[in-house]
Amino acid sequence: MVNINTNVRRFTALQMMFHFGLIVTFMLLSVTGLAWMFIETSWGKTLAAPFGGYTGALEVHKITGLVLLALFALHILYTLVHIDWKHPSRTLLGPDSIVFQWRDVKDFFRHLGWIMGMIKAPEFDRWSWWEKFDYWAVWWGLMIVGVTGLMLYNPVLTSHYLPGWFLNVALWVHRIEAVLAMAHIFTIHFFIEHFRPRCFPFSATMFEGSKDIKHLREEHPAWIARLETEGGLQALMVKPSPVPLRILYFGVGYALIGLGIFLLVFGLINVSLLTLQI
Amino acid sequence: MGILPNMKVRIAALLMVALIPGAAIGVVSVPHSYELASTGYFRDSDTVPGAYQLYLQTPESKGGFWGLGPGDSDLKRASFKADAHAGVRNYSPGRRCESCHEGQRYSIHSSRGGVACVQCHRSEPIAGINHYYSAMNPIRRHAYVCAKCHEGATASFASYLVHEPSPLAQSTEREFPLLYYATWIMAILAVGVFLIFIPYVTLWGIREFVGLFGRKQRHG
């Protein structure tokens, strides 16, 4: 079974590294950020303890934030390099593009129609509308949380260029965007990618870079059909990862999912103890 | 050269103007203890009784940046007093600040940083924040209060609101418009995402479950 090419390659090693870098920095930022946000509660103090209290947690938060922004800058560079600048519309508006197109709006409503049991499921090409949404949500989120994070990184320096009261605003925007990002990842993203019946219990695509063709014929039929007619499918066929590796992916994946759900559940339990006034 | 005598007269006149009022009132060089307690720094001329009235300040009614900043909150008369609690019945230095200043109870300086009220508002008698000699007066707050922890704090830095209003409260639209609008926009964005996605993915999960279950039944 393992020796047969049953999987179709979906991500390159570099793309997977970007995603893994995002996971590590995001989780570290979540733990240290929530530790600071909940430092009044015993749960917050427990989260901060591995970093030596809130000062250490804040220090790690700041450095990790810089690492994530550097990763983001590298990713922007990566996307710019991959655009065919002679024919930008080919890379940006082609069927392999992750850029939102009119088709995605129609797909969203068709998908909703299928959910309601009214019409046939839409046939997604390489990227479905929710995959595109998840990808661009990181851009939008990082812009907001990154700019405000940099402002808060050195408040004294920031106040040389902006009035100090901008920091009141920056802190609230940073906080709400971060809570939105965490809540989205720990509920919607985890559900769509791992918990919904077709993917349960775990989808390792972002770790092994490929996906079973049977699954893809259901989830991305237009892409597979296009590859078959264009004749590019064979070049993308690969073997699934060996079992030990898949066990590792599952273990690491579930440790991260567990951490996310732990943060979500305990954050919700402790939220009434916060003295923060909104 | 003809101007010289004229200048002498002018200098003499200037000296007279400068000295006579001082001589007439009688310069008091010993500051009141509350002035020392509040700032520890002032000029001799500032200690002339009543002189501080010259320096009473009214903060601008609207903040900078096209009126988006903080500023239009209610000014308290006591904030101009040398002893903000003078004449307050049932006040005693032993009472907890938040037993009266309920609205100022929450700030991340106190709740997270563990900063006590008196670390910024100083010891008894506590000067009103707009009193000229107060360490909290905006002209010196950054140097006398903020810089104790935030090295290099500037007057701009000190305009950060330690006791910020609740960002979503209606009154904040008037008191601190940018905070109000920015927080509302972010809150609507966050709530909007979940209002769309939670029902969507719930129905989606049910649909897939029904689909898979139905298929198994057909094949089984």
* C-beta separation of B143 from B34 below 8 A: no
* C-beta separation of B70 from B161 below 8 A: yes
Instruction: Tell me which chain A residue has its CA closest to the CA of residue B164.
Output: A168
Portion 127-146 of B in contact with A at CB < 8 A: none
In Å, what is the CA distance from A29 to each residue of A167, A181, A199, A214?
20, 11, 27, 37
Residue bearing the bigger pLDDT, A169 or B26: A169
Average pLDDT of chain B is: 78
Q: Specify the residue for token string 């032993």.
A: B94
Closest by CA position to B63, among listed B180, B184, B175, B139: B175
Q: Residue A192: pLDDT above 90?
A: yes
Q: A278 in contact with B at a CB cutoff of 8 Å? A: yes
Q: Which member of B106, B179, B205 has the closest CB to residue A172?
A: B179
Whole-model pTM? 0.85
* C-beta separation of B137 from B57 below 8 A: yes
Closest by CA position to B162, among listed B85, B101, B91: B101
Band of residue A156 on the pLDDT scale cut at 50, 70, 90: very high
Size of interface A-B (CB pairs under 8 A): 124
Which residues in chain B are contacts of A200 at CB distance < 8 A?
Answer: none
Please tell me what DSSP assigns to residue B135.
T
State the pLDDT at residue B24: 46
* C-beta separation of A234 from A28 below 8 A: no
Which residues in chain B are contacts of A219 at CB distance < 8 A?
Answer: none
> What is the C-alpha separation between B110 and B120, in angstroms, rounded?
11
Which residues in chain A are contacts of B152 at CB distance < 8 A?
Answer: 156
> What is the C-alpha separation between A261 and A41, in angstroms, rounded?
19
Closest by CA position to A68, among listed A29, A32, A25: A25
How does pLDDT run across A197-216, given as a tens digit for each residue?
999 999 999 999 999 999 99
> What is the C-alpha separation between B128 and B130, in angstroms, rounded?
5
Portion 21-80 of B in contact with A at CB < 8 A: 63-65, 69-70
Q: B159 in contact with A at a CB cutoff of 8 Å? A: yes
Closest by CA position to B194, among listed A111, A191, A196, A35: A191
Q: B178 in contact with A at a CB cutoff of 8 Å? A: yes
Say if the Cβ atoms of A165 and B183 lie within 8 Å: no
Q: A277 in contact with B at a CB cutoff of 8 Å? A: yes
Say if the Cβ atoms of B197 and A184 lie within 8 Å: yes
> What is the C-alpha separation between B155 and B134, in angstroms, rounded?
15
Q: B212 in contact with A at a CB cutoff of 8 Å? A: yes
> What is the C-alpha separation between A107 and A109, in angstroms, rounded?
5
Q: A152 in contact with B at a CB cutoff of 8 Å? A: no
Q: Residue B52: pLDDT above 60?
A: no
Contacts of B26 (CB under 8 A, 6+ apart): none
Give me the DSSP letters along B147-200: GGTSTT--TTGGGS-SSPPPTTSTTHHHH-HHHHHHHHHHHHHHHHHHHHHHHH
Say if the Cβ atoms of B65 and A112 lie within 8 Å: no
* C-beta separation of B104 from B98 below 8 A: yes
Q: B112 in contact with A at a CB cutoff of 8 Å? A: yes
Contacts of A35 (CB under 8 A, 6+ apart): A44, A45, A47, A48, A51, A54, A57
Q: What is the ipTM of this complex?
A: 0.92
Q: Residue B41: pLDDT above 70?
A: no
Portion 102-121 of A in contact with B at CB < 8 A: 112, 114-117
Task: Compute the nearest-CA separation of A174 from chain B (Å).
Answer: 9
**3-state DSSP of A61-118:** HHHHHHHHHHHHHHHHHHHHHHCCCCCHHHHHHCCCCCCCCHHHHHHHHHHHHHHCCC
Which residues in chain A are contacts of B205 at CB distance < 8 A?
Answer: 191, 195-197
State the pLDDT at residue B60: 47
Q: B183 in contact with A at a CB cutoff of 8 Å? A: yes
Q: Which of A92-101, A169-178, B40-49 has the highest mean pLDDT?
A: A169-178
Q: A198 in contact with B at a CB cutoff of 8 Å? A: yes
Band of residue A257 on the pLDDT scale cut at 50, 70, 90: very high
